C-alpha cells in the first residue's frame, strides 16, 4: 500500500514553524511566501530554499497546485499589542489574498492561524466576515483557540485561533490538551555559553 503525499503551500511563512509540523507527517511544501528579509534568510537556512517575497506580487493562478494551504497571516491588525485597525490596516487585508488563492486553486483543506483577539475584534464582526468568506467558498470550518503551553511544545503562554477548513465533510477534532508543561530551563542556553553582549 502506498501512502499519499499531500502538497502544501506555506504563506506568511515566517521561519517555517507551521511547515515543520506538516512535513513531519509526510507533506511536501511546493511554495512558500514571506516578505520579511530576515525571516526569509532564516527560512532559507532552515529549508535550503528562499521563499517568494510579497504575496501581492504573484497571481494566485501562478502559485503551484496544492492540497493544503497553510497561513499564519499577519496578526498585528487584530492584536492587543497593535493598533487594532483590522481590515483598515493594509496587513489586515492580506486575509483577502488567502481567500482569492483558495477561490482560484481550490485546495482540499487549509489551516489558518492568528491571534486570539481575531475572534473578538470589532465585536466579532471581523471573525464573522472571515468565516462567511471561507464558507462561501464551500469549506466546512472548524476553529478553536489553543494555548501552546498546554500541549507540551514550548514554555510560553501563546494563545492562537486555529481555523481549519475542508472542501468535504471530515470527522475532525482538535487535539486534547496534554497538560504537560515543558520547563523554560530545557530551552534556554546556559548563561556562560552566551555572548556577554546579549
- Catalytic residue annotation: 75
CA dihedral 112, 114, 117, 121 (to 10 degrees): -60
Residues with Cβ within 8 Å of 102's Cβ and at least 6 positions away in sequence, in order, are 69, 110, 134, 137, 139
How far apart (Å, rounded) are the C-alpha atoms in residues 171 and 137? 19
What are the DSSP calls for 100-138, one per residue? HHHHHH--SEEEEEEEGGGGTGGGGHHHHHHHHHHHHTT
Nearest Cα residue to 87 out of 138, 143, 127, 145: 127
Angle CA 71–7–14, to nearest 5: 30
Amino acid at each position: 500500500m502506498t501512502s499519499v503525499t499531500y502538497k502544501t503551500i506555506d504563506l506568511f511563512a515566517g521561519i517555517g514553524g507551521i511547515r515543520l509540523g506538516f512535513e513531519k507527517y509526510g507533506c511536501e511544501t511546493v511554495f512558500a511566501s514571506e516578505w520579511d528579509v530576515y525571516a526569509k534568510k532564516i527560512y532559507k537556512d532552515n529549508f535550503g530554499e528562499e521563499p517568494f517575497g510579497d504575496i501581492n506580487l504573484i497571481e494566485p493562478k501562478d502559485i503551484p497546485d496544492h492540497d493544503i494551504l497553510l497561513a499564519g497571516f499577519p496578526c498585528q491588525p487584530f492584536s492587543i499589542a497593535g493598533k487594532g485597525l483590522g481590515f483598515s490596516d493594509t496587513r489586515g487585508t492580506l486575509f483577502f489574498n488567502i481567500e482569492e488563492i483558495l477561490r482560484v486553486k481550490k485546495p482540499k483543506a487549509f489551516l489558518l492561524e492568528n491571534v486570539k483577539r481575531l475572534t473578538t475584534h470589532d465585536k466579532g464582526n471581523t471573525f464573522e466576515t472571515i468565516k462567511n468568506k471561507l464558507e462561501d467558498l464551500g469549506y466546512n470550518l472548524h476553529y478553536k483557540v489553543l494555548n501552546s503551553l498546554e500541549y507540551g511544545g514550548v514554555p510560553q503562554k501563546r494563545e492562537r485561533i486555529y481555523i481549519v477548513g475542508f472542501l468535504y465533510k471530515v470527522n475532525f477534532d482538535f487535539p486534547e490538551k496534554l497538560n504537560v508543561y515543558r520547563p523554560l530551563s530545557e530551552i534556554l542556553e546556559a548563561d556562560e555559553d552566551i555572548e556577554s553582549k546579549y
